[in-house]
Amino acid sequence: MAAFAWQFSWWARFNFEFPFQDWRLSVMLIPLVMVLQGGVYFAFRLYRGIWRFASIPDLLNIVRAAALGAMSISLAMFILFRLEGVPRSILILYPMVLIFCLGAPRLGYRFLRDRRVTFDTNTVTTRVLIVGAGRAGEMVVREMLRDGRYFPVGFVDDKPELRKAEIQRVRVLGDVDAIPALCREHRPDIIVIAVPSADTGQMRRIVERCEEGGTPMRLLPGLSKMVAGAAVLNEIREVSINDLLGREKVELDWGTITAGLERKTVMVSGAGGSIGAELCRQILRLAPTRLVLVDRSEFGLYRIHQELLQEDASRRTPIVAVLGDVCDAVAVQQLMLAHRPQVVFHAAAYKHVPILEEHCREAVLNNVFGSQLLADAAHAHACERFVLISTDKAVNPVSILGATKRLAEVVCESRNGRDRTRFITVRFGNVLGSDGSAIPLFQSQIKQGGPVTVTHPDVTRYFMTNSEACGLILQAAAMGNGGEIFVLDMGNAVRVAYLAEQMIRLTGAVPGRDIQIQFTGLRAGEKLNEELFHDFEQRGQTAHPKIFLARHPQLDWSRYEGELARLRRLCDAGDAVAIRAQLWHICGLTPEVTGGGAINERYPPACAG
């Protein structure tokens, strides 16, 4: 192309006559032009450009390469023969012709690819309505036009300045509220939501309008997850319940978190569970000296161990899987002696409310005395930090799960300050999609055609994603000085019935018509609304906006110690009725179910001050 541009410049200079003056000189200089211009091409990596994705930055690169090539050729000719016989206008014409010769084919090919028309009348295209006329929407339309299998019928966007505008020759037809009418008028096959910046409220509104239009929805993820080319269309996925319950992106201080875990031996109990496994994934990325996985479930332990080994293929961090029970004193002692963990995340716990209501002894042994045993071992072996994973059900507990986790909080707090080990508690609500949670159950029931079972029309719960919860756990662990109960910002409570309805709608079914929702009544140990703070706790701010501090009176451990010892003796005797009574006694609760199904509660009497 450089040789053609060079000769064409000479020919144009002499009014397209041939032979023109000094034509032999122009031909003799072609090798020089090709060598110098080729070197510039290589330096600017023009050979790497893909014509299908040619853009303004590529054109600017061509302009720079042509200009530098022309200057290099001019300098070489000046050194060799003082430009004798070379018209000066050639030095201006040559880069201009070269820019045209290099840029026009690329942009022309790009234009044809983006605007190609299929004349095969048998080809079926998918009609698409795109929500969002921003950068993400433009990328989607451009790729759809290039792909040929999709036909964008138009955009919808709430920005008034975009009304009736055209993007990639596709018109903005209206705002989000117009979606139902536009679906009737233009009959799209799918609606693609391309608004990566939408918050929870905006996403719910968009989905509700799409549901009114009766058209299937797809979602484009954040721009940070998108790549150029055909992969943009590959990233489009179905709308999930996580998108409707989504929260603002949480910014973590990874420098502080890394400093607390890097080059340290970290142990995670309950590593095979959903929370423990996600903690292990995030901790592994922080390059600890060793990561010790502990779980009593052989399969759960095997699964997360294999996953982490594949993720850390370079074996940068030794990953040790230990099959063991935190209630086994001998096993815990051997574990501490063998691995000497500096940081312990205690996520091992029984957590299924209805099951634990029927198995009080097992809940107490695992959640209370397992936590006590592991906390005492961490203290005896001078661990730096011990982090207890708690739950919102420990606040004013009415279930065996909540009562045992409340006592676990008390045990950990009582150990703090005795030595160098810092005992920290992190409390939060439900995790979306975790083992035994409502969402997997709803998904299974919907797949079977229903009914979807919800305990009560007005029951609410707090939800957050697994990765967000574990990230904030790591942040709280790094912030804690010992003795704190950190509470994660769970956002607004969500009606579980709404959750069920949205999950049904996301499958294209209509709640109450295609799939029924059946209300079964609150089960033993269940609250209508969960809480994050006791009434005797004050909500305090921390350095992180998504982590709060539950300020509480100093606990008088001497009043708990003898009662817990008695609880242990009752567990050894296996007296389930006495265990339950003693558990509520220690928590300071006298459960009395009223006619409305609520439970009267008293605050823990063991609080001093």
- Percent of the chain at pLDDT > 90 equals 34
pLDDT in tens, 537-547: 888 888 888 89
List, in order of start, the domains of the chain with CATH numbers. 2-115 (no CATH), 126-239 (3.40.50.720), 254-587 (3.40.50.720)
Q: Which residues sit opposite 324 in a β-bridge?
A: none
Task: Tell me how far the alpha carbon of residue 353 is from its chain's centroid.
Answer: 27
514 has a pLDDT exceeding 70 = yes
- Residue 493, number of CB atoms within 10 A of its CB: 17
- What local confidence, expressed as pLDDT, does residue 598 receive? 33
Q: Give a three-class secondary structure readout of 466-506.
A: HHHHHHHHHHHHHHCCCCCEEEECCCCCEEHHHHHHHHHHC
Identify the three-state secondary structure at position 543.
coil
**Helices in 348-449 by DSSP H: which ranges?**
353-358, 360-363, 370-380, 400-415, 438-447
Contacts of 556 (CB under 8 A, 6+ apart): 606, 607, 608
DSSP state for residue 599 in the 8-state scheme: B
Confidence of residue 608 (pLDDT cuts 50, 70, 90): very low
Rounded to whole angstroms, the Cα distance separating 68 from 75 reads 10
**Helices in 82-134 by DSSP H: which ranges?**
88-115
Does pTM top 0.75 for this prediction? no
Rounded to whole angstroms, the Cα distance separating 265 from 591 reads 43
pLDDT in tens, 258-314: 988 989 999 999 999 999 999 999 999 998 999 999 999 999 999 999 999 998 877
Do the beta carbons of residue 36 and residue 67 sit within 8 Å? no
Rounded to whole angstroms, the Cα distance separating 71 from 91 reads 8
Task: Tell me how far the alpha carbon of residue 548 is from its chain's centroid.
Answer: 22
- What local confidence, expressed as pLDDT, does residue 327 receive? 95
Rounded to whole angstroms, the Cα distance separating 197 from 177 reads 18
120 has a pLDDT exceeding 50 = no
pLDDT in tens, 1-52: 888 888 888 778 877 777 777 778 888 888 888 888 878 877 877 666 555 5
pLDDT in tens, 201-215: 788 888 888 888 888
CA dist 405 to 40, 190, 332, 362, 381, Å? 69, 46, 20, 13, 24
Report the amino acid identity of residue 28.
M
599 has a pLDDT exceeding 50 = no
- Percent of the chain at pLDDT > 70 equals 88
- What local confidence, expressed as pLDDT, does residue 111 receive? 65
Identify the three-state secondary structure at position 603.
coil
Question: What are 60's two structure tokens?
Answer: 């600017």
Report the amino acid identity of residue 609.
G
124 has a pLDDT exceeding 70 = no
Rounded to whole angstroms, the Cα distance separating 204 from 468 reads 20
- What local confidence, expressed as pLDDT, does residue 601 receive? 38
- What local confidence, expressed as pLDDT, does residue 510 receive? 84
Which position has the higher pLDDT, 322 or 13? Answer: 322
180 has a pLDDT exceeding 80 = yes
Would you tell me the crossing angle of helices 200-213 and 179-186 to the nearest 10 degrees?
40
Average pLDDT, integer, range 461-481: 89
Average pLDDT, integer, range 90-96: 87
pLDDT in tens, 131-158: 988 888 888 888 887 777 888 999 999 9
Do the beta carbons of residue 196 and residue 130 sit within 8 Å? no
- Residue 560, number of CB atoms within 10 A of its CB: 18
Report the amino acid identity of residue 272.
G
Confidence of residue 593 (pLDDT cuts 50, 70, 90): very low
Q: Work out the end-to-end distance of the chain between its first and last CA atoms, rounded to an integer number of angstroms.
A: 87
- What local confidence, expressed as pLDDT, does residue 302 receive? 96
194 has a pLDDT exceeding 90 = no
Q: Are strands 190-193 and 166-167 parallel, antiparallel or unpaired?
A: unpaired
166 has a pLDDT exceeding 50 = yes
